[in-house]
Amino acid sequence: MNKKSPEINSQDPLLTRFEDLIAVHGLLSADDTVIVGVSAGPDSVALLHLLSRISLPVRLFAVYVDHGLRPDETGNEFSLIADLCNTLRIPAERAVVDVRAEQKRMGTSLEDAARSARYQALEAARRRHAAAVIAVAHTADDQAEEILIRLIRGSGRKGLSGMVLRRDTIIRPLLQEAKQSLVAYLERNAIPFCIDSSNRERVFLRNRVRLDLLPYLEQNYNSSIRQTLLQTAEILRSEEELLDQLTQTAFNGLTTIAADPLVAPPRHAQISIALQAFLDCPLALQRRILEKTCWMMSTRPGFRQIEQIRHLMKDSDNGAQLHLGMGLRVRKTGGNLVFSHPSGRSRFRGNTREETAIALTVPGTGFFSIAGHVLQITQLRKRPEQPPLTALLLDADTIAFPLQLRPPLPGERFRPLGAPGKKKVHRFLTDAHIPREDRHLYPVLLSADRVIAVAGLRIDHDFRIREETQSFLLIDWHRA
């Protein structure tokens, strides 16, 4: 718990507004542990000091993130933070991140990579200290700049509604305060701070907006442009809340979500959208549903990507697909639009990665592991009442071991159960709506050089169960 410094005026107007906002919006609760992102600039120093003064009992940890981009300044910055934290009796720690490596991984700007690395470091600290939230020092000025940046880059209503006071574990208690009010607070209380030299570098879009665009708009178009932007964002935010509810309702009715059981914590392995029902939705909801789906699959789409997906849904043939960021693939198949990461969550592009060859000699019954899958073969004297959904059942007396499991050969045929005649295996896979990039995961199983089944899908008609069948062979082919 933080002990207050008696020399600071507890009736400071900024402190009063600060406490009132936290209480009204429920940003903090008693005894919360809070990670405070502190850069040594005036905004974050003011945030840390204000949090140390509130009457609500909370435990604070100050975290300074060193981006490794200004080695001549970071030492003095952290020293200032350490001194302040010592005075306020708040633990302080320094997190060093590799922004260049993050930029290479993301394939984005240095500014965006720094933001990503910074939030990763703060989240790591939150988990390490079992903290409830991370407090960051975005102000009303930052909000105005952010709205303009999003407008310049291209954004919908959600983006133009700006940052919010709380999103998940991130809180912004200063979002309604002007920077100047924070500087005045620090000066009133003789609290030192640093000025980041990179804030003057016009290579960054945010700095050009702050130093050039906003002053130009104030001088030549609207002297109250900052307040106008904030008011517009507030209007859009309230409308956004309504649209979010409509989007969620439509999304729930249109989508099927499959979790990936092989990762922890679980995340979405695949999201399918029913095509016809989607196309019946108003255009505004279509775009929002697609944006929400991409976000849930860890990709941030722009307007162009959203329109490409809509075009894929409306005008493309079955089997068509798009490649989006971080390995997200969108394909049209079987009356659905399917979002997945078939080649992993990376910046891989192309139809498939090098496929793992499936070639296995099966000497008899048992369990066999290959290419991330398991082949289970069991011989039974009684027909199972509820076999696994992925299992096939054949007449064991029509089959001779050893069996062969391998990819189908070009032109290779079999007679699917119930079909009037033979069909090429590749044609069968097409008719079964198996995406081309996944077909190697459905090998054929042979006995005495005859295809007895396409693993996981269908048996050959000649090996079916009959009334006189006395011995049953259960073949289960599934992902490990």
Per-residue pLDDT of 1-31, as tens digits, reads 343 443 445 578 999 999 999 999 999 999 9
Gap between the Cα atoms of 99 and 342, Å rounded: 28
3-state helix, strand, coil in the chain (%, to 5): 40, 20, 35
Q: Which residue has the higher pLDDT, 147 or 321?
A: 147
Mean pLDDT of the chain: 86
Last residue of a domain, one of 175, 207, 223: 223
Quick: pLDDT tens for 458-470.
999 999 999 899 9
Residue 461 in contact with residue 450, Cβ under 8 Å? no
Q: How far is CA 418 from CA 30, 111, 298, 423, 466, in A?
A: 67, 60, 42, 12, 13
Quick one: pLDDT at residue 268?
A: 61
DSSP-derived 3-state class of residue 92: strand
Cβ neighbors of 246 (< 8 A, separation 6 or more) are 285
Amino acid 344: pLDDT: 60
Residues 365 and 471 in one domain: yes
Residues 6+ apart with CB under 8 A from 162: 143, 146, 147, 150, 230, 233, 236, 237
Confidence at residue 140, expressed as pLDDT on a 0 to 100 scale = 93
Identity of the amino acid at 136: V
Domain that holds residue 261: 251-340
What is the percent of the chain where pLDDT is above 70?
A: 92
pTM for the full model? 0.59
Same domain as 367, residue 327: no
The reply to whether 323 and 440 lie within a common domain is no
φ, ψ (nearest 5 deg) of residue 368: -135, 130
The reply to whether 236 falls in a domain is: no
**Residues 213 and 255 occupy one common structural domain:** no
Six token digits for residue 117: 């690395």
Q: What is the mean pLDDT of residues 381-401?
A: 86
Together in a domain, 217 and 280: no
Domain boundary among 204, 223, 242: 223
Domain boundary among 179, 207, 223: 223
What is the distance between the alpha carbons of residues 45 and 27, in angstroms, rounded to a whole number? 19
Q: Give the model's pLDDT for residue 45.
A: 96
Least confident range of 87-101, 114-128, 341-355? 341-355
Confidence of residue 122 (pLDDT cuts 50, 70, 90): very high
**Quick one: 201 and 322 in the same domain?**
no
Q: What is the pLDDT at residue 228?
A: 93
Residue-wise pLDDT for 181-215, tens only, equals 999 999 999 999 988 777 787 878 888 998 999 99
Residue 205 structure tokens: 């879009």
**Total number of domains constituting the chain:** 3
